[in-house]
Amino acid sequence: MTWTTLFGAVFFIVFGIWALLWPHNFYDTVAEFPPFNLHLFHDAGAFQLGIGASLLGAVLWSDAVFVALLGGSVAAVVHAISHVVDRELGGAASGPWSLSALALLLVTATALRVASRR
């Protein structure tokens, strides 16, 4: 089970980084459904990284709440960054701010969970 979980973590992290950093190559190789949408692939990369972080965290730590917060924090931070970077592509003007606030909330909760375990 551990190896399968690690395989899943690596899979999601690799595909998440690929979709996030090289979205055109990802689209040409994997997706190929029209039309290409840069922000969609940035978001897909963000959420795949969150899933990968959760799977990796589950192998490394037994605290389910921490692992869930870790995955949520990774996805939320990268998602907020993608909305800041892609703000000229459309979407609600409040997106970068509201998603950054959510990311900050989750990162704070993660840090508090770590601090409470010491």
Residue-level pLDDT at 42: 92
Label each residue of 70-98 as H, E or C: HHHHHHHHHHHHHHHHCHHHCCCCCHHHH
**What six digits make up the tokens of 93?**
């003007």
**Residue 117's pLDDT band (boundaries 50, 70, 90)?**
confident
The total number of structural domains in the chain stands at 1
Whether 32 has a pLDDT exceeding 80, the answer reads no
Residue 117 DSSP code: T
Q: Which of 29-38, 84-93, 97-106 has the highest mean pLDDT?
A: 97-106
Which of 26, 116, 24, 25 lies closest to 69, judged by CA? 116
Contact 54, 16 (CB under 8 A): no
Contact 103, 80 (CB under 8 A): yes
Contact 52, 38 (CB under 8 A): no
pTM for this model (two decimals): 0.90
Residue-level pLDDT at 35: 85
